[in-house]
Structure 1
Amino acid sequence: MTYDLVIRSLRTVLPDGERPAAVAVRDGLIAAVEAYDAAPPAASTVDLGATALLPGLVDTHVHVNEPGRTEWEGFATATRAAAAGGVTTLIDMPLNSLPPTVTSSALAEKRAAAARACHVDVGFWGGAIPGNAAELRPLHEEGVFGFKCFTSDSGVPEFPPLPPSEMRAAFREIAAFGGLVIVHAEDPETLTVPTGGHYPAFLASRPPSAERRAVEHVIRTARDTGARAHILHLSAADCLDPLAEAQAEGLPITAETCPHYLTLSADDVPGPDVTSYKCCPPIRDPANRERLWDGLAAGIVSCVVSDHSPCTPELKKGDFATAWGGISSLQLGLPAVWTAARARGHDLRTVARWMSEAPAALARVPRKGRIAPGHDADLVAFAADDTFTVDPSALHHRHPVTPYAGRTLAGTVQATWLRGVRVDGRTPTGRLLTRSETP
């Protein structure tokens, strides 16, 4: 039987390792994985040679900001950048759009804004905020992948943090229908106001203890309620011990970190006006960064996702006390992580597990994250040995602001296929996804 497409690579990154293979695609799915020198009949064949073939990345932490703040980003630009960076599936955060995705009607508005605009597949998180407990089950039934909440100020007034009593009630309700809670964990009582606009003052205002105390609170709440919980954008390596203990206890607690925490450090920040480095929680010192790598290698941290959180250039002006906190890196996550990972002895299979397989498993996105028969033919041609210097003007997200400007990174995305069709950046072919109960 003829296949629609066969892609051959000497470096095909499969669930059991990297090896030469030919990936055969039919009707948008991977139909077979055969030997590299096999010649299955196909309408089209691509031979990548030594260029690696990876599963499409699954980025479960992206702020698209549409509707309501589309001038910050938007589905068209975010998903074009995603495809250019090898991301074939993203899940949009419930803020900073207006309205936030905390009601069924807001979810409908979000889906309407995304319809026919996406270059990759897109799903949606719901939000848990004070007063919306009655909305959680309906949102779950309408297919959101889980519920984000904050323990401290989110930065936008329409998405306030959950106080401890309401957080416990939300966890209990979400546990009752088998949902997932994802938490921005910083203890509000430990955070302080920066004493100046330079980076050291900002860093001191959000110490590692703020993260650890909030993570410990999440662990206690998950233990008491039975909820499945996930710690977002882990920055402080001091949190690794309580997370490891909770996981050893058998609690369903996972954690992610981000490319900027693994590749940048506080020592890299040039001055108080280079606010492209500002994010919450903050980028910390080099020793902390290396401990995060250790936690990732040990499996305490399972996912690496972008936390792409853009804004208008005007909101990034000023200093570290006043500028918007968020890093734009959706297109650069794979080469940034690969550059640092290979320097530490990690291979492409491991990077694919962190950036494709584990995020897909976290969100329970079916048929994503692996090159295996029955999975969507979401594939990435990645020239792992090529290098490039980051030029912000070449990035596809709406505003060319990034802390990676001028950095030399290893690995270039040569092509991205979504369900076996090459993404051209002009014709949106992405689908809107809903949650599956498949573990």
Structure 2
Amino acid sequence: MDLVVRAARAVVINGNTAGTTGEGPVTLGVEDGRIAVVEPGIVDLPGDRVLELGEDEVLLPGLVDTHVHVNDPGRAEWEGFETATRAAAAGGVTTMVDMPLNSLPPTVEVAALEVKRRAAAGRVHVDVGFWGGAIPGNETDLRALHDAGVFGFKSFLLHSGVDEFPPLDAAGLESAMRELASFGAQMIVHAEDSDAIDTAPDPHGERYADFLSSRPRGAENLAITQVIEAARRTGARAHVLHLSSSDALPLIASARREGVALSVETCPHYLSFVAEEIRDGATQFKCCPPIREAGNRELLWQGLADGVIDTIVSDHSPCTPELKRFDTGDFGLAWGGISSLQLGLPAIWTQARARGFALADVVRWMAQRPAEQVGMTRKGRLAVGCDADFCVFAPDEAFVVDVAKLAHRNPVSAYDQRPLAGVVRGTWLRGAPVTGDQPSGRLLKRGNC
């Protein structure tokens, strides 16, 4: 073997095939960047290099984060491929998929996809794939983007926050989904209803309660119903992004029982923070849809336990400190987005362990299922044939977040000064440690990972 890893604790897929996830002692053998051997227990497997985990460490598959805004090229001062992928590796993420907006040009045609790939080439420390975008007027570009390797298509049902990525109306959403169904692609949707937002109170001032009122749960519920019905009528696969309204869980469960092809994600900030504790003017907590009340948070955790919510991803949406408007604390003016790419694993583990969940659950939500959602057959699992992507995690070590020490480009995060449980002590990509010095990530296309 090129590399042998011995771990008294590891989270693996039982039987080395798709199935239940469990924890136990494991010896891994790596050849040519892929896992060649998975032996239960600690065995004497010869290798050129040997990695012995400590008693307080757990071997996890590399996380797969399918919702990241890198913003490069065009708004690289907000983030960038080098900084984003360093942050990902520092957080145990070995594969991520970049969103099609906030960069310039947006990824709504093949030429724009090639611009983005050129910007990323030779600069990524983890593997990176790309989403395409579905906007008014680009329906004829969708098949070409699909053939060029994007993992699916993102759309908005209200203003996206940037003028160059306009939303689809109801007819446009259904038409685009019908087109995607013809070649088996999925539509991923920012589901908030435009009319419901327009008739809600305007967001302004420092009071978080006023901002929360401007993005009511009903806006999410209406939009998710629209997505469900479009998926039902067209037969397309649909995915609801960053679910924050627990009210929608029964709608989602009902649609699935009826055979609608629907998956759902939520994010660490909806599972960690609560509206009642966000102080006025703390615009680092602004995101859309918003962080809601404590009772809502607990129902989202129940949705994960019940299997209604499939995945947890970061929705890392960074910006410069100036755009957060700390000078005024005005939620109506501040950019909406949470910077958390490096912190997702400890943030979720901190909350999950307090509710009786195991690391195997976290791996299922943050590695295995995100990979499955986008069709990555070699990612998200410690199994024979998979890429040797993994992280070493110390679940009982604690730390206090210091934004100045994060690898994100800008020192802004809602997690600043928050105590978290679990430290990533190392990340490996295809059997090689990710040091942050020499970029070794690859640019992924649908079907080649």
Quickly name the TM-score band, shorter chain normalised: over 0.9
Alignment of 1:230-245 (within 5 A): 230-245=239-254
2:86·2:407 contact (CA, 8 Å) conserved in 1? yes
Identity %: 58
Give 1:195 deviation, angstroms: 5.0
What is residue 69 of structure 2 aligned with on the other side? 63
What is residue 251 of structure 1 aligned with on the other side? 260
1:198·1:321 contact (CA, 8 Å) conserved in 2? no
| Separation in 2, partners of 1:180, 1:379 | 27
What is residue 3 of structure 2 aligned with on the other side? 5
Extract structure 1 runs of 4+ deviating beyond 4 A.
Answer: none
2:181·2:236 contact (CA, 8 Å) conserved in 1? yes
Give 1:436 deviation, angstroms: 1.5
1:5 maps to amino acid = L
Q: How many correspondences in the alignment?
A: 435
Unaligned runs of 5+ in 1: none
What is residue 281 of structure 1 aligned with on the other side? 289
2:428·2:434 contact (CA, 8 Å) conserved in 1? yes
Q: Residues 362-420 of structure 1, C-alpha deviation per residue, up to 9 Å, x if partnerless?
A: 01112000000000000100000100000111100100111111111000000000000
- 1:229 paired with 2:238, answer yes
What is residue 434 of structure 1 aligned with on the other side? 445
| Separation in 1, partners of 2:394, 2:277 | 27
1:256 maps to amino acid = E
- 1:117 paired with 2:116, answer no
1:279 maps to amino acid = C
2:82·2:124 contact (CA, 8 Å) conserved in 1? yes
Unaligned runs of 5+ in 2: 15-21
Match for residue 431 of structure 2 among 403, 408, 420: 420
| Separation in 2, partners of 1:269, 1:386 | 26
| Separation in 1, partners of 2:42, 2:331 | 55
Alignment of 1:40-439 (within 5 A): 40-50=45-55, 51-191=57-197, 192=200, 193-194=202-203, 196-272=205-281, 274-317=282-325, 318=328, 319-436=330-447
| Separation in 2, partners of 1:33, 1:302 | 26
SS at match of 2:27: strand
| Separation in 2, partners of 1:411, 1:313 | 27
- TM-score normalized by the length of structure 1: 0.98
2:323·2:335 contact (CA, 8 Å) conserved in 1? yes
Give 1:39 deviation, angstroms: 1.1
Q: Residues 266-291 of structure 1, C-alpha deviation per residue, up to 9 Å, x if partnerless?
A: 1221222x111000000000000000
Give 1:196 deviation, angstroms: 3.5
1:159 maps to amino acid = F
Give 1:437 deviation, angstroms: 8.6
Q: Residues 14-47 of structure 1, C-alpha deviation per residue, up to 9 Å, x if partnerless?
A: 1131001111111000000114321111011111
- TM-score normalized by the length of structure 2: 0.96
1:57·1:88 contact (CA, 8 Å) conserved in 2? yes
| Separation in 1, partners of 2:273, 2:247 | 18
| Separation in 1, partners of 2:190, 2:106 | 16
| Separation in 2, partners of 1:393, 1:253 | 39
2:224 maps to amino acid = V
What is residue 35 of structure 2 aligned with on the other side? 30
| Separation in 2, partners of 1:212, 1:399 | 33
Identify the range of structure 1 (34-43 vs 172-181) with the bigger mean alpha-carbon deviation: 34-43
SS at match of 1:341: helix
1:152 maps to amino acid = L
2:7·2:27 contact (CA, 8 Å) conserved in 1? yes
2:441 maps to amino acid = G
| Separation in 1, partners of 2:127, 2:376 | 11
